[in-house]
Chains A and B, each alone.
Chain A
Amino acid sequence: MVTITGLDLKNPTILAAGIMGTTGASLVHVAKEGAGAVVTKSIGPAPEKGHPNPSMVRLECGFLNAMGLPNPSYKDFIKELEIAKNETSVPVIASIFGGSADEFVRVAEGLSHAKPDAFELNLSCPHAEGYGAMIGSDPHKVQQITSAVCNNVDVPVWVKLTPNVTDIVAIGKAAASGGADAVVAINTVRAMAIDIASGYPILGNRFGGLSGPAIKPIAVKCVYDLYAALDIPVIGVGGISTWQDAVEMMMAGASAVQVGSAVFEGLDVFGSISSGIDSFLTEKGYGGVEDIIGLAHGMV
């Protein structure tokens, strides 16, 4: 059992935003497969069909995607969130996005009817014009949006950060001073792939974000720095597919981990990571995950 921002998780693995999170049934499916909590697809103010395909491609070192924040709008998503809430016992976190503080608040208030356990603010999508990282790289906007949402909802607020900035700690501090209950790091790393047979960029959007194994060391460093600088919990995400990856991320300072691209290999990834962490803790004689969170910081 792990408690983060007041939410009780039966294990520290969380489904990452945008992965099998478009429908209530899908979130329920992942929860049944063993995730300790689930985060929805990022939901916005209006229906959006996303970028043209190809929208996700597996590369030699990871995955490249530019979905373009497809979502049915918060109005249509309320019933999906209700399904997820009613049919699972794990916490359900609503990921939301908007182009301004007002839009974030409108989406959060709309979805509040379905009683999500927390909100995760997507201030980090690297390929949506006017959204995500476009505002998430400006500390002033991050603080303003975080505090606007915190003032209008009565559940914990997590802020998801982009690694595509010079100093992620400055953004993390802005989120914390806006009232964030936790930060989530990292979203995908700006990237591109080109089809050499034709010269076309492979993604319909031409460029997108890298996830999977290639970005794990980047995520570990971001989590390490955020843990050292902030007093709120850090949730680690980026390239986690095994219990060893999760333990490493926790030693860097993550209170829990999110898993995204690794569902490609199978939904049993949540169960295998959490049981692997448990065996590791027992074998090493640790009392619980709290004994390894941030452990690397003392090793100098």
Chain B
Amino acid sequence: MRPVNALITKIVKESPSIRTFFFDASFDSATPGQFVMVWVRGVDEIPMTLSYKNAITVQKVGDATSRLFELGEGDSVGIRGPSGKGFTLPGKGDRILVVAGGVGAAPLAPLAECAEGAGAEVTTILGARNADELVFKNRFSGTGILHITTDDGSEGRKGFVTDALRELDLPAYDRIYTCGPEVMMARVFDILQDAGALERSEFSLHRYFKCGIGVCGACCMDPSGLRVCKDGPVFNGTQLVGSEFGKYKRSASGQRVGI
């Protein structure tokens, strides 16, 4: 499909480095965890998760995201998608645990809301560097129990999401979902593996997307050859055992770079 023109209708500042861009276009068929390719014309096209049916939540890190931060209401971007495999939605009465780090909250907030709407019992661990960088605190607390961690202790517990995770009764959860920096997810993976909970877990991965439609192979994982843009970005924990996850990824040229 050609990019759809999406007009920015509202911009919400979530933290000093993170903003939510609402569009006049709504992607109602999208499931939580699916992504869209956002074309910042004249600069680049980059993958972003849908944080609402009609919005993306962006951390400013480089060229395209910086250009996006210069856009205002009334400006537009091109959007293709939604694409990829999202999270498995829990059923009524399921107990789920959501572990979100930084802008990793973007795919997890709609998941938590969707789960709560379906009658699941939701617990969230939300972590960030400091109080200012906590994203979607209210969305998560509106869906159930919320544990907060910050690296500097400016809000909630001082420490990492993994510190809070270790203290929860993991066998009590039917499903565990996580998204955040890969170093964080790798620690979460280790804890879940030790607890025998990998089968019940889902991880939302980031890799360099080139075509974004499952053809070029730039985002393939070792050793399975699964495509993050098509077979993912959400993977079951058992699919990641013995994989490159937590160890290395590939640059735009395909060279391996350490995590």
Chain A interfacial positions (CB closer than 8 Å to B): 18-30, 41, 47-50, 52-59, 63, 65, 67, 70-73, 76-77, 83, 193, 195, 197-198, 200, 202, 204, 260-261, 263-264
Instruction: Write out, one digit per residue, whether chain B residues 235-250 have a CB within 8 A of any chain A CB (1) or not (0).
Output: 0000000000000001
CB distance B215 to A22 under 8 Å? no
CB distance A25 to B3 under 8 Å? no
Instruction: Check A23/B216 contact, CB under 8 A, given A52-B44, A58-B1, A198-B5.
Output: no
CB distance B222 to A23 under 8 Å? yes
Q: Tell me, in angstroms, the Cα distance from A300 to B215 when the chains sit together.
A: 39
Q: Tell me, in angstroms, the Cα distance from A24 to B250 when the chains sit together.
A: 13
B84 an interface residue at 8 Å Cβ cutoff? no
Pick the contact of A50 from B42, B221, B253 — CB < 8 Å? B253
Query: How many interface contacts (CB-CB < 8 Å) are there between A and B?
Result: 139
CB distance A25 to B78 under 8 Å? no
Instruction: Check A57/B80 contact, CB under 8 A, given A23-B217, A29-B226, A193-B2.
Output: yes
Interface pairs A-B: 9 shortest CB-CB: A29-B225, A20-B217, A197-B5, A53-B45, A49-B252, A56-B211, A26-B220, A72-B254, A25-B225
Instruction: Check A41/B217 contact, CB under 8 A, given A47-B253, A59-B2.
Output: yes
B146 an interface residue at 8 Å Cβ cutoff? no
CB distance B210 to A50 under 8 Å? yes
CB distance from A267 to the nearest CB of B (A): 9
Contact residues in A for B209 (Cβ distance below 8 Å): 53
Instruction: Check A202/B3 contact, CB under 8 A, given A23-B250, A50-B210, A264-B214.
Output: yes
- Please list 30 pairs of residues, one from A and one from B, whose beta carbons are closer than 8 Å in the complex, sorted by A's number: A19-B216, A20-B227, A22-B217, A22-B218, A22-B220, A23-B222, A24-B222, A25-B223, A27-B225, A29-B225, A30-B225, A41-B217, A41-B254, A47-B253, A48-B253, A50-B253, A53-B39, A54-B39, A54-B78, A55-B211, A56-B210, A56-B212, A57-B3, A59-B2, A65-B211, A71-B253, A73-B255, A77-B254, A195-B3, A198-B76
CB distance B224 to A29 under 8 Å? yes
How many residues does chain B have at the interface if contact means C-beta atoms less than 8 Å apart? 40
Q: Tell me, in angstroms, the Cα distance from A200 to B254 when the chains sit together.
A: 28
Main secondary structure on B side of the interface with A: loop
Contact residues in B for A65 (Cβ distance below 8 Å): 211
Q: B217 — nearest CB in chain A belongs to which residue?
A: A20
Q: Tell me, in angstroms, the Cα distance from A30 to B210 when the chains sit together.
A: 19
Q: B222 — nearest CB in chain A belongs to which residue?
A: A25
Instruction: Check A19/B225 contact, CB under 8 A, given A197-B5, A204-B44.
Output: no
CB distance from A62 to the nearest CB of B (A): 12
B41 an interface residue at 8 Å Cβ cutoff? yes
Instruction: Check A72/B78 contact, CB under 8 A, given A30-B225, A52-B43, A57-B2.
Output: no
Contact residues in B for A70 (Cβ distance below 8 Å): 210, 218, 252-254
CB distance B76 to A20 under 8 Å? no
CB distance A197 to B44 under 8 Å? no
Contact residues in A for B214 (Cβ distance below 8 Å): 263-264
CB distance B42 to A200 under 8 Å? yes
CB distance A19 to B42 under 8 Å? no
Q: B42 — nearest CB in chain A belongs to which residue?
A: A200
